Amino acid sequence: MIEAAKAAKASITSVSFDDRTADVHVHRLYEDERMSCLTANLDDLRLSFRLNMPGRHWVLNGLMVLAAVRALGGDLGMAALGLADFRPGRGRGRALFMDLGDGPFCLIDDAYNANPVSLGASLGVLARRPQDKGARRIAVLADMAELGATAAACHQALIPDLKAARLDAVIALGPLMQDAARKADLAVRRADSPEQALNLLLPMLNKGDVVLVKGSRSAGLDRLVSDLLALAHQVHNQQMEDRRLQASRPGAAPQIAPMAFDPAGYGPAGYGPADYGEAKRNDMHAL
């Protein structure tokens, strides 16, 4: 493609995460479990901006956006503000915080699809995510589809990423992912459906755990995410009812609202609008 662009005498802008000879690259980066804050070099310009998600693949996407805006003569400041407002859609790596009764845990919903590059990137996010003491990293992973004759080799190539993610447990759907996880010396549980995977996952969950869900679209892991959200919504409703009853008793002390779902963003059938099912803290107030 580069040779074709040169032959057409087109302008070429190189973009890289860590190659400092590229026209657009990262100068400085800070990541935590919720965001990436970075300063980027764009030729002779240095620009700082924020992304509301962690992950080097998201950083590279942001750099590509800024490179395109600059090539078109657009407003880089407005583009940076737009990137700061962007949040990934359902199944695209969004972190959801929920509570099934034993304390909140984090679900990384990357269930929309999977390929070798995106799965490696998601495992990298999981590996760099900080953990509370005693919390675990759990992955629910399905075979990557539509890889043809390279399918087995592509799954085997993920073994270093699986090891680097420091996973405490893996629930694998499909023989190729099961084999790769075993060869990575991980504790693997086999599941033949999203429903079976959920039944294996639920007894594992503890407060502070981080769970990655990722697989090809054909695996249907979005159903597992929807079922988890529905369970968390039921738990939340019961918590609210219990607190309402407690607060109604004579002499009861004011109660603080528990972690709650945004009712405008949650649908009982699964994914709702853009803010579907994300658990978040209400402002502290007495019931």
From residue 124, give the alpha-carbon distance in Å to each of 22, 50, 63, 91, 116: 23, 19, 19, 17, 12
> pLDDT band at 235, cuts 50/70/90?
confident
- Is 118's pLDDT higher than 70? yes
Q: How far apart are CA 257 and CA 246, in angstroms?
A: 12
Q: What gap in Å lies between CA 261 and CA 280, rounded to an integer?
A: 6
The least confident of 10-14, 176-180, 243-247, 275-279 is 275-279
Query: What does the domain layout of the chain look like in residue ranges?
Result: 2-85, 89-287
Is the per-residue pLDDT at 287 higher than 70?
A: no
Longest dimension (CA), the chain: 82
Q: What is the pLDDT, as a whole number, of residue 176?
A: 97
Same fold, 2-85 and 89-287: no
Residue 140's Cβ-count burial label (10 Å; 0-12, 13-18, 19+) is buried
- Looking at domain 89-287, which CATH architecture does it have? Alpha-Beta Complex (3.90)
Residue 189 phi, psi dihedral angles, 5° rounding = -115, 135
Instruction: Give tens-digit pLDDT for 85-113.
Output: 988 888 888 888 888 888 888 899 999 99
Q: Reduced to 3 states, what is the DSSP secondary structure of residue 80? A: helix
pLDDT in tens, 267-286: 333 333 333 333 333 322 22
* Inter-CA distances, 88 with 37, 91, 94, 151, 216, Å: 16, 8, 6, 28, 18
Average pLDDT over every residue of 206-223: 93
Summarised one tens digit per residue, pLDDT across range 143-192 is: 999 999 999 999 999 999 999 999 999 999 999 999 999 999 999 999 99
> Percent of the chain beyond pLDDT 70?
87
Q: What is the pLDDT of residue 81?
A: 93
- CATH number given to 2-85: 3.40.1190.10
Q: How high does pLDDT run on average in the chain? A: 84
* Over residues 1-17, mean pLDDT: 84
Q: Give me 151's structure tokens.
A: 């399918």
Instruction: Give the lowest-confidence range in 1-10, 59-68, 214-223, 266-275.
Output: 266-275
pTM equals: 0.78
First to last CA, the chain: 61
pLDDT higher than 90, residue 204: yes
pLDDT at 256: 55
CA distance 235 to 237: 5
